[in-house]
Amino acid sequence: MAKILDGRVAIVTGSGRGIGRGIAVEFAKEGAKVVVASRSQGSIDGTLKEIADAGGTAIGTVCDVGNHDHIKATVAKAVDTWGGLDILVNNAQAFGTLEQPDPSPVLTGIEDFRDAEWDRTLLTGVTASYRFMKAAFPHLKASGRGRVINFGSNWGQMGNAGSVAYNAGKEAIRGLTRTAAREWGQHGITVNVYNPAIETEALQNHARIHPEESNAALQVLPMRRWGDIYKDGGRVAVFIASDDASFLTGMTFMVDGGMLMYP
């Protein structure tokens, strides 16, 4: 019996851990050949082991999405290894500065926000997504069924106080996505945004630092739980990447258990 993503090649950035790992593992379970891209070789190896244990196929590459050469090399590795590229998932996002990275946004008012953190956040978010999309485009076009999944955030939609760079970058990603959806649809490429409320290490770190805020958010979430990286996060991404979603583009998928029900 054919699997949903049989014969497809996918790059998943930030797939050494968290929702990126969940997506990479579920893609591989459905037959995709996956490039596991992350900044840490150790985290890459962990995801590769999970995929191998599940009977999937994957290779790893160290990729700092803030480095344009790494982006081009990651796309080239996918194409050189497997002859093409069908799916691009832009999940990676750095926090803090290059010299002082943080595991999650440190809430700081605009008037005190560090310019270097603004620059790093946008470089590794919207700019990295843009650069990956440009590098991937000719291969996605050749595929005839290209899929781009960019990551947004409900923080950007709500204008969460204290995270100006993250908010601005994530909403810019939605603008980038809609533009690409309009331009690239003629080539059979869909481009969508994925806004998650998934229990990742970043969310856990934020909960430790801001327990009252995190608990309050959980209490207003209709499902009363954060999403699982595999059965929630990974499976929705499988759907968006599949043929079943070939007529869905320019959309923001709210994978958040009903947290935001904006019309």
Note if 166 is an active site residue: yes
Q: How many CB atoms lie within 10 A of CB 108?
A: 15
- The catalytic position among 166, 194, 230, 262 is 166
Amino acid at 145: R
- Taking the alpha carbons at both ends of the chain, their separation in whole angstroms is 39
Residues annotated as part of the active site: 166
